[in-house]
Amino acid sequence: MLYSRCWKTTKGGDIIYKPKFIYNHIDQHVHTTISHDGKSTMREYLEIAARKNVQEITFTEHYDIYDGVKSDLKTIEINPYWRVYKEATKDAPIKTHFGIEIGLRPECSTEIKSMTHVYDFDFIIGSSHITCGIDISKNNVFFKGKTMQNAYWAYFNDVRKNIDTYEDFDVYGHLDYIVRYGGYGCTEIKYSDYASVLDDILRTLVRKRKGLEINTSGFRYGLNYAHPTTAILQKYYDLGGRIITVGSDAHHVDQLAGNFKEAYRTLAKIGFTSIAVFEYRDPHFIEIKSLKSRAN
Ligand SMILES: [Zn+2]
Ligand SMILES: [Zn+2]
């Protein structure tokens, strides 16, 4: 059991709940107001981190290319992002890392590769937000006229192309993100329905020594699990994959390190004993049990 509960009686006789142990979290997927949909500033995250037992944060602003996509959004520029990061973190009370979440698209490989070769990131998440030239989170356009299986197959085929095309990312973010959209009821995907494409994706990740992210935003979206599902994480583990990062995908300080204990429980059940923390693009492995300490 990773988490222990304890009820205590105060001097006044009130019974209060106090956890016996706490976890010191490392959140490696955080958006600030630099991202188009971020609601909190970098400073605000750093101010609240200690209260949420967060000892390290990796900022991972969105970098999506909108060429040929119906969208008013613009790709962020890295230089201003770097300047804000340096200024906000120069006297930070916790350790921070400079990361990015790239919306990978097979057709944008030249532009994405030239960006990642120029800047020194600690950590790069590769994600799929735009699939077949359509932002899948917007207006249901991607899903129009498709059955759920057709839509998910198209999405996972695009993920497979990304993983075949790119080397310059460290983990794949929220791998089954598509389940949030399409109005199919936000249900958990059935691994066996997509086994051949998922097996390819996971085998390639392991062969290329790439990691998977466990992204706890799934809980915020009303799912009972983090992205991706336990079955996908289990298969990655069974194929020999051991590079797992934990991220909240926070867009507001209230979401920082949300549901991390559930993520640790899921990982432990599968057999993972460590998480990876990236610095200068190198994974450092930290035992999950070492994140736990006795509460005061
Ligand atoms: Zn994302
Ligand atoms: Zn994100």
Domain boundaries, the chain: 23-294
Polymer length in residues for the chain = 296
Distance from Cα 22 to the centre of ligand 2, integer Å: 26
The bound ligand whose nearest atom lies closest to the alpha carbon of 29 is: 2
Distance from Cα 135 to the centre of ligand 1, integer Å: 11
pLDDT of residue 15: 73
Report yes or no: 226 and 174 within 8 Å, Cβ to Cβ.
no
pLDDT of residue 185: 78
Q: Is the N-terminal amide bond of 80 cis, ω within 30° of 0?
A: no
Q: What is the SS3 assignment for 172?
A: strand
Pairing of strands 244-247, 171-172: unpaired
Distance from Cα 141 to the centre of ligand 2, integer Å: 21
| C-beta contacts of 84-93 below 8 A and 24+ residues apart | 84/34, 84/42, 85/42, 85/59, 88/41, 88/42, 88/43, 88/46, 89/42, 89/46, 92/46, 93/46, 93/49, 93/50
Residues 6+ away with beta carbon under 8 Å from 248 = 27, 29, 30, 215, 216, 217, 255, 256, 257, 258, 259, 260
pLDDT in tens, the chain (296 residues): 444 456 666 667 777 766 778 899 999 999 999 999 999 999 999 999 999 999 999 999 999 999 989 888 999 999 999 999 999 999 999 999 999 999 999 999 999 999 999 999 999 999 999 999 999 998 889 999 999 999 999 999 999 999 999 999 999 999 999 999 998 875 789 999 999 999 999 999 999 999 999 999 999 988 889 999 999 999 999 999 999 999 999 999 999 999 999 999 999 999 999 999 999 999 999 999 999 887 76
Report yes or no: 32 and 38 within 8 Å, Cβ to Cβ.
yes
Beta bridge pairs of residue 134? 131
Q: What is the SS3 assignment for 178?
A: helix
pLDDT of residue 4: 44
Distance from Cα 203 to the centre of ligand 2, integer Å: 24
Distance from Cα 139 to the centre of ligand 2, integer Å: 19
pLDDT of residue 253: 98
Distance from Cα 90 to the centre of ligand 2, integer Å: 24
Distance from Cα 247 to the centre of ligand 2, integer Å: 9
Distance from Cα 76 to the centre of ligand 2, integer Å: 14
Beta bridge pairs of residue 23? 292
Distance from Cα 32 to the centre of ligand 2, integer Å: 10
Distance from Cα 166 to the centre of ligand 1, integer Å: 17
pLDDT of residue 293: 84
Residues 6+ away with beta carbon under 8 Å from 81 = 34, 61
Amino acid at 21: F
Architecture per CATH, domain 23-294, reads as Alpha-Beta Barrel (3.20)
Q: Is the backbone of residue 218 left (phi > 0), alpha (psi -120 to 50) or beta?
A: alpha
The bound ligand whose nearest atom lies closest to the alpha carbon of 100 is: 2
The bound ligand whose nearest atom lies closest to the alpha carbon of 126 is: 1
DSSP summary character for residue 212: E
pLDDT of residue 63: 97
Distance from Cα 6 to the centre of ligand 2, integer Å: 34
Distance from Cα 291 to the centre of ligand 1, integer Å: 25
Which has the closest alpha carbon to 158: 194, 116, 210?
194
The bound ligand whose nearest atom lies closest to the alpha carbon of 38 is: 2
pLDDT of residue 183: 87
Environment of ion ligand 2 (residues, CB < 5 A): 101, 249
Report how far residue 32's alpha carbon sits from residue 202's, in angstroms, rounded to the nearest whole number.
30
The pTM assigned to this predicted structure is 0.93
pLDDT of residue 20: 75
Distance from Cα 292 to the centre of ligand 2, integer Å: 26
Burial degree of 70 (CB within 10 A; 0-12, 13-18, 19+): exposed
Distance from Cα 15 to the centre of ligand 2, integer Å: 39
Distance from Cα 265 to the centre of ligand 1, integer Å: 23
pLDDT of residue 186: 59
pLDDT of residue 2: 45
3-state SS string over 264-283?
HHHHHHHCCCEEEEEECCEE
